[in-house]
Amino acid sequence: MPDQSSHHLSRRERQIMDIIFARGEAAAAEVHAALPDAPSYSAVRALLRILEEKGHLKHREDGARYIFLPTEARGKASRSALQRVVRTFFDGSLSSAVAALVDAEGGKLSAEELKRLEAIVAAAKKKTRQFP
């Protein structure tokens, strides 16, 4: 399978991947129906083939149609995408990225979100102390 990290997605490819991740799997007609301002059906099929060639999708046959599935779990794909965003827009600084997200929310985090963030920071501190 090709190295997915070297293949950035276009806006339309990202939309297709979002549809397939949301559904778990989808045929070309389902993707076409779900796309906003969808291009032609043949263009959607071509984009699905490109995503398969890039290693983001695989397919299984269901009669005469192909059913497309992601090649990696959504969680793994989202972590990889987030790492690219942090490298690209925040010079690799995780704290700057988190600060930007908190600022984007106007600093208004629920008590639950604050508690979860505190737990994540505490766990990271503990790991850092274990490995000086």
How many Å apart are CA 56 and CA 33, to the nearest integer?
A: 20
Q: Which of the following CATH numbers is that of domain 8-70: 3.30.70.2740, 1.10.10.10, 3.30.420.40, 1.10.510.10?
A: 1.10.10.10
How many Å apart are CA 64 and CA 62, to the nearest integer?
A: 6
Which pLDDT band holds residue 69 (cuts at 50, 70, 90)?
Answer: very high
The residues spanned by each domain of the chain are 8-70, 74-130
Contact 4, 32 (CB under 8 A): no
What is the tens place of the pLDDT at every residue in 38-64? 999 999 999 999 999 999 999 999 999
- Pick the closest to residue 101 from 84, 115, 89, 111 (CA basis): 89
What is the tens place of the pLDDT at every residue in 90-126? 999 988 998 898 888 787 888 999 899 899 999 988 8
How many Å apart are CA 37 and CA 91, to the nearest integer?
A: 34
Q: What is the DSSP string of 7-27?
A: -PPPHHHHHHHHHHHHHSSEE
